[in-house]
Amino acid sequence: MKDFKIRCSAIGKIMANSRTKGQLSKTCQSYLEDYAIENMYGYSKDVWSKAIDKGIAVEDASIELAEEVLKMGAMSKNEEYFENEYLTGTPDVLNEDYVLDVKSSYDATTFPWFKKDIPNKDYYYQLQGYMELTGRRKAYLVYCLVDTPTDIVEDEVRRVHYKLKEIEDNPIVRNAVEMQHNFERVPKEQRIKCYEIDYDPEAIEKIYNRVKECREYYETLIHEQFKIEAI
């Protein structure tokens, strides 16, 4: 059995501290249990959502917007996969001096207009992991507001019509939905929210220690449920 490694995008799921000393948090335990089932038999929870669909569809557009507004040099989608003894991951953008990750907000209500600090601590850990894997010591978490693809907007239009029990296409409903997903009226500079993150060796040490704890718990799960001994 291979040692458990954590994807950088999932580090936040294992870093929450338990209220009970000496135990992993319930969130961490649940993640490892799901991981065990997926690793053994390929079954995984359906975590798909409209926001994820959009994020995948507009990733290139978000990177282009970040390049244009931030003026931090040429940016292109990174395809290189990285792995070490504890971590795995593929950063969105990899520059000689920094790593950058884009988060494409689903609509204007999920964009951190006024947030001075990182809205989600999980992303802090994600970027720490990317820096550790790539050797960079500077990272940027960039929220982007880009137009939602037409097919996703149409799904949302249908959903709202159904919710309102509108049988025929209602132009008022349609316009209201479309307006929530079109951002041309917002200056490009205001459609980017960038958070700078420095490499934190103490955070990396905590991540590695937690991965070691996760391995012990994971091996116990595998042994008790599937009768497989650790190698």
For the chain, what is the mean pLDDT?
A: 93
pLDDT reported for residue 1: 61
**With a threshold of 0.85, does the pTM exceed it?**
yes
* Rounded Cα distance, 166 and 51, in Å: 24
pLDDT reported for residue 231: 44
Q: DSSP secondary-structure letter at 17?
A: B
> Comparing 33-42, 126-135, 198-207, which segment has the lowest mean pLDDT?
33-42
Domains and CATH numbers, the chain: 6-147+183-226 (3.90.320.10)
How large is the average pLDDT for residues 113-137?
97
Please spell the DSSP secondary structure of 176-222, one letter per residue: HHHHHT--TTS-GGGGEEEEEEE--HHHHHHHHHHHHHHHHHHHHHH
| Percent of all residues in the chain with a pLDDT value above 90, rounded to a whole number | 84
Asked if the model's pLDDT at residue 225 lies above 80, the reply is no
Q: DSSP secondary-structure letter at 165?
A: T
pLDDT reported for residue 2: 76
**Exposure letters 17-45 (e unless 16+ CB within 10 A, then b):** eeeeeeebbeebbebbeebbeebeeeeee
Contact partners, residue 207, CB within 8 Å, separation at least 6: 6, 11, 15, 86, 87, 125, 128, 129, 132
Within 13 Å and on the Cβ side, how many CA atoms surround 39? 18
> Comparing 13-27, 36-50, 164-178, 212-226, which segment has the lowest mean pLDDT?
36-50
| Percent of all residues in the chain with a pLDDT value above 70, rounded to a whole number | 97
